[in-house]
Structure 1
Amino acid sequence: MKKLLLIFVVGAFLLAAYPASACTTTLTGKKASADGSVMVSHSDDGLGDGRLIYVPAMDHEKGSMRAVYYDGCSLGYKPEWGASETHRIVSKERGPGYNTPGYPQSVPIGFIPQVKHTYAYFDANYAIMNEHQLSIGECTDKAKVEPEPAAGKRLFYSSELSRVALERCIKARDAVKLMGELIDKYGYYGTGETLLVADPDEGWVMEMCGYDKEGTNGVWVAQRVPDDSFFVAANQFRIREIRKGARDMMYSKNIFSAAKEKGWWSPKEGKLDWTKVYGDGEYHHPYYSLRRVWRAQSLVAPSKKVSAWVEGPLTKEYPFAIKPDNKLSVEDIFSVHRDNYEGTEFDLTKGMASGPFNNPNRFEGQAEATSGNDEALTPLKGAFERPLNIYRCVYAYVNQSRKGLPDTIGGLTWFGPDRPATACLMPFYAGVNNLPAPLQQADILKFSHNSMWTAFNYVANYAMLKYSYMIKDIKAVRDQYETEAFGKQAEIEKTALALIKNKKIDEAKQMLTKYCDTNAQNILKDWWKLSETLYIKYNDGYLNTSAGVANPVFYPAWWLKQVGYEQGPLTYIKQKGEQ
């Protein structure tokens, strides 16, 4: 009986505890960017489905219905809704990329009326960008109430909301309204969520959550980001006071009545503070979210001298959006995601925890390692700093939506597989006919040389053996490809634009598709070559090159002192303190 009880408890723990999908997302207004684009970025920080899928445009018969699927990003993998922990959707109706035999078919939570035509888009754990430059980013937030999905009552989570928006909308404002209407009509389940929605003209922050475990709707709010500003969210709601009648805000009709009904807010208290009323602070420990908000704002606007220290989780120290000191580029935005607090008092490349070779990765060992479970996985109380770059990131990207260019060229996703610090950005234009096959293949439980995600994850993990050395080799290959891609951008777009002006749109799309595919295939080949180079060059802890084999790379003196290197064994006499 004791053994049976133990099995039951462990099984229940595994079902309740699911990998934390804790992301960082940013939005840069068109007057804050270097090239006038509206930029959205996102790092998907939960080890799971690493595929970037191309969903083609489709025509649908009148009266047809669209399936709404459950997504494990919401409340963890649930076998009753089909698919798997490694494949978020398995269905023929979402195009070839999601038609993956050998995995359980996704089971719809429910259906909504389909539209006559749906747009093509890039999709991952959340939708990314469609053929009309509509762009989305995401982060998970802690809400007071996180309802379960229920057929006929609670159909939508942010992931499927984002997909419907890209299937049906061209403008950010329309996408926000549509997603709000879907929440109102079909209900919302899962965690609190932030979705960033942008087009070439403007960008919006939309936040949502449930407020009743058995409710049949949800609650949401949206706020426009000023064109000259930069916004960042990191697993905590960021919209504060609801201003009735404000032109830069939208919200659900029940936002005030639901808060009063739950006793969370009274009009006597003044304006409703969305983050305070519907949110539940930071995940896991102080500064899990706020440190990243501070770091991102301090990187883009150092002159503002925002403080790293605040009084509590509901601080207003960090403004909703901040005007950057200089106009921002794609490289600037992705460098934020690559950050490990280097050069600050929180620098994760320093100290004993980074080891002798300055490894910034900190494996999580307590409740922060999972969502939905608060039990410590170690008897020690404590926490490491939570960086913008984290080892369990499955992908990251920067989207550009650019006015004055045809959608085919203007929409551009710079995609980096696995964690940002060791990723290489690859360009994919909104007008491509498909995405490279290696990007659409990934299974975290299978090793595949044909998978882009596997290649990058493999190199990133291997680099942790001698990080301060290997990161230089990785950057050398990465910088070569990124510099080439940014350098070629103007020429590629000039050629595509000329074809479009001559009404050769199909030729332009084919050219862009071939360019993006060739670039990605070359990176995949060279990344596996890099993995072999790292293996040989640092084999057995030595430095091995054509100049010499087995050249020692010893530990730094500061680290040797702290681990007791000086205490022996240097003599046959027992040293003081030895057992």
Structure 2
Amino acid sequence: MSISELSTCTTILVGKNASFDGSTLVARNEDSGSANDPKRLIVVHPDVQPRQYQAKTSQFKITLPDNPLRYTAIPNAVEDQGIWGEAGINSENVAMSATETITTNERVIGADPLTKEGLGEEDLLTVVLPYIHSAREGVERTAAILKEHGTYETNGIIFSDVNEIWYMETAGGHHWVAQRVPDDAYVVAPNQTGIQEIDFSDPDNFMYPDDLREFVEQNHLNLNDGFNFRKIFGSHSQLDHHYNTPRTWFAQRYFNAESVKDMDPMSDNFSFISHADHKITIEDIKYVLSSHYQDTPYDPFAPNTDFKTVPFRPIGINRTQEMCVLQIRPNQPKETAAIQWVAMAANPFNTLVPFFTNVTNIPSSYRDATGVADSNNAYWINRIIAVLAADHYQATISAIEAFQEKTLGYGHSRISEIDYKYSANKANITALLEKENQITADFIMTETKSLLTKVVGTAGNLVPGSFTRDNY
């Protein structure tokens, strides 16, 4: 499937020494081909994990091991096209994001064709995350499946634990490379092959199939000196310049403006491994992944702008289904170290909510989305707000920004409060975290309903056909 058809994304990865508190941070938007593909947050228990897995959108099938771990996932609420679990953390505090849909070039596809029997984004979280105990193991398991089954699409797949983040990119039906994100660095990935120079003498930071160099040489794929994975396997199309590279441009302007001050949105030369000029926070990630190129000439919400004429695809697009930040915290007990921050629907108008993942259930407002709009559900109420606010951005944005500031502050205070409660009483930790997650979800839903009320009131006075005596 092409990046215009189904799930496209923007990913941000932050090494532990580049983040505000020493956490590894894996963040991603999931963007659909439609603005109405509801998502839900769930816990998958070992007794419901499939043993014989069959994909719905491809011919991929696999027998899975008998010892799965419990894990969180954020699958489609309507699974007629498969699970699409996307992002989660297992009971060993290993996180996975699958996937960042990427592109490759025709010569690579010709040399190693994609395969209909292979795995893809629909399948990856389900068949990998329950069976790994470290980020490196995530790469190894995915590589083994690719070797046997191949893939029908090219993807960026991310694994993290408390110490490491690994970014793995597939190319063609069976080839791939993975790079460890340096602890002091960050990465932004925008539906485009990103990994650059590979050091084949550094197994601590690079992984790849044994035949990678031979495959490239035999098929005359390397047109440059060195071994630059992006140049060999990636694409450099007009679509990239309007759909992909502007997202990297905005993110790097935000995180390290001085180093990219002379680059434009269509540049092919942005670095894969980047270094921010400050420690990166949850709020930084939320801001960038919500971006519509504000304060630039490319903002579709700017006054008197026809959004159809804006040349670049925003990061915070209307058809975002969800956003997750997978945070594995250092210097915390294993029981409370992992947090999955979740935002539903379009990011310019929503908020991030922290859920501790060492639980057996998720609050119903985030768990029970269906294909029917329901303002008591987190996905749907945020979708409704986004639809109303997008047409009345200038009139509603002050209420939305006040909501975001209040709820993000609340999220941080909740983490501190729950950490303290756990330190004071380590008994029944799962029950404690489930209770606290429920309190968090209830507060956020109350605030979101209040925001919806304000947005409806504002937008309702601005619709075509509204009339007052001031009109005559």
* TM-score strictly above 0.5: yes
Aligned to 1:156: 119
Aligned equivalent of 1:109 = 60
- 3-state SS in 2 of match to 1:284: helix
- Is this contact kept in 2: 1:232–1:296, CA < 8 A? yes
- CA-to-partner distance for each residue in 1:305-351, whole Å, 9 max, x for gaps? 44332785xx3x32221121111111111111122222234344335
1:251 maps to 208
Deviation of 1:273 after TM superposition, in Å, equals 2.4
Separation in 2, partners of 1:34, 1:353: 36
1:431/1:113 Cα in 2 relative to 1: closer, same or farther (>3 Å)? closer
Closer, same or farther in 2 for the Cα pair 1:246/1:16, shift >3 Å?
closer
- Take 1:387 and 1:228, find their aligned partners in 2: how far apart are those partners? 27
Give the corresponding residue for 1:571. Answer: none
The answer to whether 1:475 aligns with 2:401 is yes
- Whether the 8 Å contact between 2:300 and 2:310 is mirrored in structure 1 is no
Matched positions, count: 450
State the identity %: 22
Provide the TM-score with structure 1 as the length reference: 0.71
Q: Which moved more, 1:294-303 or 1:228-237?
A: 294-303
Cα distance change of structure 1 residues 221 and 385 upon mapping to structure 2, 3 Å threshold: same
Amino acid at match of 1:115: D
Taking the TM superposition and a 5 Å limit, the aligned residue runs for 1:271-286 are: 271-282=226-237, 284=239, 286=241
The 1:209/1:451 distance shift into structure 2, 3 A limit, reads farther
C-alpha distance in structure 2 between counterparts of 1:521 and 1:311, whole Å: 43
| Structure 2 partner of 1:103 | none
- Residue 178 of structure 1: which of 141, 144, 166 is its match? 141
In the alignment, which of 25, 29, 33 is matched to residue 15 of structure 2? Answer: 29
Residues 436-459 of structure 1: per-residue CA shift (max 9 Å, x gap): 222233345x22234211110001
Unpaired runs of at least 5, structure 1: 1-14, 71-77, 82-107, 212-217, 355-361, 364-381, 543-548, 555-579
SS of equivalent residue, structure 1 residue 431: coil
- Is the CA contact (8 Å cut-off) linking 2:119 and 2:149 kept in structure 1? yes
Aligned to 1:128: 88
The one-character-per-residue Cα deviations of 1:137-195 (angstroms, maximum 9, x if unpaired) are 33111123396654xxx3311442333332011211111111111111222112x1112
Once the 2 structures are TM-superposed, how far is the Cα of residue 28 of structure 1 from its aligned partner? Answer: 0.5
1:350-369 equivalences under 5 Å are 350=302, 352-354=304-306, 362=307
Distance 1:279 1:17 in 2: 14
Q: Which residue of 1 aligns with 2:245?
A: 290
| Match for residue 104 of structure 2 among 135, 143, 152 | 143
Matched residue of 1:40: which SS? strand
Structure with bigger gyration radius: 1
The residue aligned with 1:404 is 331
* Distance across 1 between alignment mates of 2:332 and 2:209: 34
Counterpart of 2:221 in structure 1 is: 264
Letter in 1 for 2:278: N
2:255 aligned with 1:300: yes
The Cα shift of 1:527 comes to 2.5
State how 1:344-383 maps to structure 2 within 5 Å.
344-350=296-302, 352-354=304-306, 362=307
The letter of the residue matching 1:27 is L
Separation of aligned partners in 2, 1:140 and 1:311: 19
Residue correspondence of structure 1 range 194-209 to structure 2 within 5 A = 194-209=156-171
Could you say what secondary structure the match of 1:524 adopts? helix
Secondary structure of residue in 2 paired with 1:495: helix
- Aligned-residue RMSD, C-alpha: 2.9
- Consecutive unaligned residues of structure 2, counting only runs of 5 or more, are 76-83
- Give the TM-score normalised by structure 2: 0.86
Distance in 2 between the 1:22 and 1:230 partners? 20
Residues 291 and 202 of structure 1: CA distance in aligned 2, closer, same or farther (over 3 Å): same
Q: 1:66 aligns with which of 52, 56, 63?
A: 52
Partners of 1:59 and 1:116 within 8 A in 2: no
Tell me, yes or no, if the aligned pair for 2:43 and 2:360 is still in contact at 8 Å: no
